[in-house]
Structure 1
């Protein structure tokens, strides 16, 4: 069982990660090099054929988060935490004659440094410290490498510090070019080893999941009443397309009737067919040629019966859409779809007590409440209009407003302002979710 790990890292750090391959003979590493962590969003898009992503630190992980979430790939990163800072402060204390009197430090989170300082019982009253806590907490100081470079450079030029400790490779490179005395944080070998072990664990889980039973259902729906002879022709073409997909992904296809087909495979084959659940299998231009839509539902399960039941739920969701679409239902009853690069996910069931309470008090279904929770997790900030919500839920604005009204009655949603995108017309209310 070979676990394929994509390592996203600066070039000079890559050997320290890949050296651990000798301790994990069932792992294969492929490296993807970045210079500035902001580049990692585009870098992940290039990655094909891997089971897990391993990032060299929290910064590349943060900037690539949206991409690997879309690909639904398990991901880990080497931390830059209290343990890392404790090691680095000890290194400076032992190896620099100036000691720790006047430092300029950047760290992902200020509390990491506070804990390391407390461990050493140090006086840091003369230190200059900045952080970029947004990447850890989702709020706080945003990451701006140029601002961090400016911070350190000015501290050194003004005499407020005599040495810089940075946690950002790009910042270190730029400061070296400016001939500012600095040190890139040493990453403890223990942190690398533990992260590689976590990647192996997630990779094993991913491979096990890919062996789950999968069932797909494809159905033809007539767009117009005219043209009695169009459906058989559409059925023949759909069958041919599905058979080709089956050959490519090692899945079997059977015809259930004139307008419906069933597909049997594994989760891995469906993942390949849908490009990590980000697009509907190519159906050509059947809608244009035959005046039909193609609805597809995929289901995963521990048994064929469970997988087929989930596929029928997916097909039901797809048929509710206005055009051709596909939905997928996992064995945890998570519904993903319509399958596209910006697909959405919600749960048909939940064990989250808070979400269950919201559903009970508002009278909304747990699926709707789950969608609302997913809606906020996808957004950078918890601010939205009824139009934003209606577009996400694919409901009319009036339906979205009814949902908001029920939520506001129990203070799960509150109005926090207004926006007026156009010079004319009424302003739109801006809302925030409170759960």
Structure 2
């Protein structure tokens, strides 16, 4: 299967990728060239059908991020790393005899600089470093290098952005481009290919939707037929309940379709809906029924989708959160067995731990996040404390009269 990848980048980057994959039979590259990274969003609107997107760097990718949310294909970008920085510095110091302390440089992450300098035993210094921001203007980056050069503080500018390099050259300011190693470019192309293959595999999975009428007096067939048409689904009805047969890819596209969501909203107070995916119709139907049973009145009018890996997506259209409904990591299996907490609740606890800016929290904080009562949150925390997955580290005085609230910290590792 040949994978089509759209490459969005500078002319120089597009030429390099063309040379590197000239004899590849498993991929086909289509090139979309820009003069500046800010032109990337407009190039997206001219895309021909493809399986994945590859951006030449972080700037064009982040310029395009809002548009990418509506595209059903994966997108990756060439990520700068320590290897690119080290090769560029080595080239300057050996070929050009450049004193590195008089070089200005723009990079994505400060850590790249730190790692390279540590590897060199701090034998060199790079005092002039500009950290690139997500949607930074090219003129801002150019101005940084230009100012240092005109002030006589630098003799050379290293830039990660081709458009900045060209602007500096036009102003007769000595500059060089960050050298992207061939291995890094090939790895990014391979990453785009593998993500496209994974997307195709997931999209082709069987999906079943179940719509259960709340009242037999409600006529929902017109809405079901309309949604089925948008999802390219076949449907049947039995005892007032509707079953839709389609693919996961069609559901993912429908979720982003305004007409589909509007039609779903017309079912409010009339029916409940959920989807399941699986390797067979039986598996998909089982997952759809499981997702249907999770819909509570407190959720409002919404629907869930449970995929073949037991990941619960939703509630749609309010949220696109994904919750693990099964756990295979030994440490998490042990945690579930000891505390008797469900995989879904453990998944939510891990997400809560990752999203918090501070480690300490109260039962009320957790209750608000889980959308449960404080008493329920306290029972959950008691289980965690009993088995040393959480610790009471102090108390927090309330603004009103009453007992101080306990302050907790998690003791488990959230990065499983």
- Range into which the TM-score falls when normalised by the shorter chain: 0.7 to 0.9
Aligned match of 2:103: 103
TM alignment of 1:180-259, pairs within 5 A:
180-222=173-215, 231-232=216-217, 234-235=218-219, 238-258=220-240
**Comparing 159-168 and 292-301, the one that deviates more:** 159-168
Give 3-state SS (helix, strand or coil) of 2:319's partner.
coil
- Answer yes or no: is 1:373 the counterpart of 2:366: no
Kindly state the Cα deviation for residue 313 of structure 1 after the two structures are TM-superposed: 0.9
* Contact 1:345 1:374 (8 Å CA) reproduced: no
Question: Match for 2:304 among 299, 322, 327?
Answer: 327
Deviations 1:358-391, CA, capped at 9 Å, x for gaps: 4345442221010122344566776777666445
* Contact 2:304 2:312 (8 Å CA) reproduced: yes
Separation in 2, partners of 1:69, 1:368: 28
Kindly state the Cα deviation for residue 308 of structure 1 after the two structures are TM-superposed: 0.8
- Answer yes or no: is 1:57 the counterpart of 2:57: yes
Separation in 1, partners of 2:401, 2:333: 38
Kindly state the Cα deviation for residue 25 of structure 1 after the two structures are TM-superposed: 6.0
Separation in 2, partners of 1:16, 1:188: 11
Kindly state the Cα deviation for residue 89 of structure 1 after the two structures are TM-superposed: 2.3
- Answer yes or no: is 1:339 the counterpart of 2:289: no
Question: Match for 1:314 among 275, 291, 309?
Answer: 291
Give 3-state SS (helix, strand or coil) of 1:331's partner.
coil
Separation in 1, partners of 2:25, 2:194: 11
Aligned match of 1:226: none
Kindly state the Cα deviation for residue 207 of structure 1 after the two structures are TM-superposed: 0.8
Unaligned runs of 5+ in 1: 136-142, 223-230
Question: Match for 2:244 among 263, 267, 270?
Answer: 263
Q: What is the number of equivalent residue pairs in this alignment?
A: 407
Unaligned runs of 5+ in 2: none
Kindly state the Cα deviation for residue 190 of structure 1 after the two structures are TM-superposed: 3.2
Kindly state the Cα deviation for residue 247 of structure 1 after the two structures are TM-superposed: 3.0
Kindly state the Cα deviation for residue 337 of structure 1 after the two structures are TM-superposed: 1.1
Deviations 1:295-318, CA, capped at 9 Å, x for gaps: 211111111111111111111112
* Contact 1:127 1:161 (8 Å CA) reproduced: no
* Contact 2:302 2:317 (8 Å CA) reproduced: no
**Comparing 162-171 and 296-305, the one that deviates more:** 162-171
Separation in 1, partners of 2:35, 2:377: 42
Kindly state the Cα deviation for residue 401 of structure 1 after the two structures are TM-superposed: 4.7
What is the CA RMSD across the aligned residues, in angstroms?
4.8
Give 3-state SS (helix, strand or coil) of 2:327's partner.
coil
* Contact 1:128 1:160 (8 Å CA) reproduced: no
Aligned match of 2:77: 77
Q: 1:276 to 1:375 in 2, by over 3 A?
A: farther
Separation in 2, partners of 1:256, 1:347: 31
Q: 1:2 to 1:296 in 2, by over 3 A?
A: farther
The alignment's TM-score, normalised by the length of structure 2, stands at 0.75
The alignment's TM-score, normalised by the length of structure 1, stands at 0.72
Give 3-state SS (helix, strand or coil) of 1:338's partner.
strand
Kindly state the Cα deviation for residue 393 of structure 1 after the two structures are TM-superposed: 2.7
Q: 1:381 to 1:187 in 2, by over 3 A?
A: farther
**Comparing 145-154 and 163-172, the one that deviates more:** 145-154
* Contact 1:7 1:54 (8 Å CA) reproduced: yes
Separation in 2, partners of 1:373, 1:61: 29
Give 3-state SS (helix, strand or coil) of 2:92's partner.
helix
Kindly state the Cα deviation for residue 398 of structure 1 after the two structures are TM-superposed: 4.3
Question: Match for 1:412 among 390, 400, 410?
Answer: 390
Give 3-state SS (helix, strand or coil) of 1:283's partner.
helix
Separation in 2, partners of 1:429, 1:336: 32
**Comparing 239-248 and 204-213, the one that deviates more:** 239-248
Aligned match of 1:353: 330
* Contact 1:52 1:75 (8 Å CA) reproduced: yes
